[in-house]
Amino acid sequence: MDLATRPYRSVLYIPGSKDRALDKARMLQTDAIIFDLEDAVAPEAKAEARETLKEALQTDGYGKRAKIVRINALTSQWGFEDVRVLRDAGADIFLLPKVNNPTDVDALADLLDPAMPIWVMMETPMCVFRAPEIAAHQRVTGLVTGTNDLTKDLGCRYRPDRLPLMTALQRIVMAARASRGVVAIDGVYNRFRDGDGLKAECEQGRDLGFDGKTLIHPMQIEVTNTAFAPSESEIDLARRQIAAFEESQASGQGVAVVDGQIVENLHVVAANRTLAKVDAIAQMAAE
């Protein structure tokens, strides 16, 4: 499936060391998987996790789910070996953590096949400041918000409304949108058994413009997939907007009115995007 048009509603982290979770993920309704070698894997387990993950990727069975490998930073003692072992194991995307500037991305790009897309963890204050340059990097096709690391580095507090992170969240979405075709993924919701809290945070991230959310547990998938998919009423409205606009154009008018709201060409562009997303989700579900 074309990486530019596929859905990225739910992006599940799986520790590369956890055999059972790696296997279980072959059955989960997640759009993408981040196979993690970084923070979810303890230092003493890194070497074994690389091999476990390599085997899981080579065995595959993950269907249409995007396979994203998160390596350790290249400034750490593990990063280069992560790349060496996993470079040709079957990943769709490499995800680089602790990025501060575009040259950090260059360092990984130099080690990978030129066709391998790179996603970046947006999780340091400097990275957020330099978000436009990082998103504009030729090899970067996705930004993943690291809200826990950002909260730690900023010294801010966790709040349900995420007010202390709002500037960062918006900068990340803006940077992705300023570089066409770059995917923007929201951070994780730590209280993974709290479905109501997750739903509220998903809806907030969606309303801010994120394409999807990173998850830590399978029980978060369904809520997230629903929140980031167009609703029935949104689909219905999109169809009616397109039809009304076409009708008004045919009668020589530039705009239409639907449900008491103006419909201009730009609304039609958005409506078509909604329907394209519905198609992409349907394709994902069709095995």
Binds 69: which of Mg ion, ligand COA, none (CB < 5-8 Å by kind)? none
By CB under 6 A, is residue 216 in contact with ligand COA?
A: yes
Cβ-based burial of 280 (10 A; exposed 0-12, middle 13-18, buried ≥19): buried
Residue type, 66: A
Residue closer to ligand COA (CB basis): 19 or 234: 19
Nearest-CA neighbor of 94 among 76, 111, 115, 70? 70
H or E stretch covering 33: strand 32-36
Choose between 36 and 82: whose C-beta lies nearer to ligand COA: 36
DSSP-derived secondary structure letter, 123: -
Gap between the Cα atoms of 15 and 9, Å rounded: 20
Binding letters toward Mg ion, positions 148-187, x by CB under 5 A: -x--------------------------------------
Task: Give, rounded to a whole angstrom, the gap between the first and last alpha carbons of the chain.
Answer: 12
Contacts of 272 (CB under 8 A, 6+ apart): 238, 242
Which of positions 99-138 make contact with Mg ion (CB under 5 A)? 123
Contact of residue 40 among ligand COA, Mg ion, none (CB under 5-8 Å per partner type):
ligand COA
The binder of Mg ion chosen from 15, 102, 142, 146 (CB under 5 A): 146
The only residue of 11, 37, 40, 281 in contact with ligand COA, by rule CB under 6 A:
40
Phi, psi of 275 (to 5 degrees): -70, -35
Position among 36, 82, 104, 123 found at the interface with ligand COA (CB under 6 A): 36
> Shortest approach of ligand COA to residue 156 CB, angstroms?
18
List residues near ligand COA by CB under 6 A: 12-15, 20-21, 24-25, 36, 39-40, 188, 192, 216-218
